[in-house]
Amino acid sequence: MLPTEAFRGTVERFIAILKAFEIRHHLTGGVVSVAWGEPRLTQDIDIVIDRLGQSLVEDLANGIRAAGYFTDEPSMRTAIHTGKPFPSLDQFEVLQLAVYPRELIPGELNRSVLAEVFPSSSIAIVSRLDAALSKLLCIHRGSHKSRRDLRQFFGRLSTDEQVA
Q: Is residue 163 part of a domain?
A: no
Looking from the CA of 3 toward its CB, the CA atoms found within 13 Å total: 4
Q: What is the arithmetic mean of pLDDT over 43-67?
A: 90
Q: Is residue 161 part of a domain?
A: no
Q: What is the 3-state secondary structure (H, E, C) of 37-81?
A: CCCCCCCEEEEEECCCCHHHHHHHHHHHHHCCEECCHHHHHHHHH
What is the domain range of residue 58? Answer: 4-156
The partner residues of 80 in beta bridges, in order of sequence, read none
Q: Is residue 13 part of a domain?
A: yes
**Euclidean distance between CA atoms 26 and 46, whole angstroms:** 9
Compute CA distances 146 → 2, 57, 133, 150, whole Å. Answer: 21, 31, 10, 6
Count up the domains in the chain and report the number: 1
Domain at 94, CATH number: 3.30.460.40
Q: Is residue 137 part of a domain?
A: yes
Q: Is residue 147 part of a domain?
A: yes
pLDDT at 16: 96
Q: Is residue 123 part of a domain?
A: yes
Q: Is residue 164 part of a domain?
A: no
Q: Is residue 106 part of a domain?
A: yes
Q: What is the arithmetic mean of pLDDT over 20-47?
A: 81
Q: Fill in the DSSP letter of residue 39.
A: -
pLDDT at 106: 92
pLDDT at 128: 86
In this predicted model, what pLDDT tens digit does every residue of 85-123 receive, in sequence order?
A: 999 999 998 999 999 999 989 999 999 999 988 888 899
